[in-house]
Structure 1
Amino acid sequence: MINIDNNDTWISPQIAKNMLGVKQTSTLTKLAIKGLIKRTKANSKVIYYSKNSILNYLNGSSS
């Protein structure tokens, strides 16, 4: 789990997948484990992804 940045927008896995152009949630998990995008768990089943980190990843910047 990560610290929540109040200046960031947290999005659902479906929106994150659409932004990244991927179909599998496991791809999001792999990117998060590698530290390329940020995620936070609301509980054991609900995970949100950082919109800023995804935009940074898409632009080639580190998150």
Structure 2
Amino acid sequence: MKQNDTWVSGQIAKELLGVKQTATLTKLAKNGLIKRTKANSKVIYYSKNSILSYLSGDNDRS
């Protein structure tokens, strides 16, 4: 079981991943590579733990 996760804004998620396009975040999330949650229709938060796991090459999606 993973420890408490930190949810970050799209801007911070893009900085962590080194990408410029929000569409890239959406693609990674839809492919199950990173986790996201919607606070409302316009605000989406991304899991910092899932981003770090993706960057480290850890493909454990549990």
Where do 5+ consecutive residues of structure 2 fail to align? none
Q: Distance in 1 between matches of 2:42 and 2:20?
A: 19
Number of equivalenced pairs: 59
Per-residue deviation, residues 11-58 of structure 1 (Å, max 9, x unmatched): 000000000000000000000000000000001100000000000000
Asked if 1:49 corresponds to 2:46, the answer is yes
Length-normalised TM-score, structure 2: 0.90
Aligned counterpart, 1:11: 8
Percentage identity across paired residues of the two chains: 76
Aligned counterpart, 1:34: 31
Q: Pairwise CA RMSD of aligned residues?
A: 1.4
Length-normalised TM-score, structure 1: 0.89
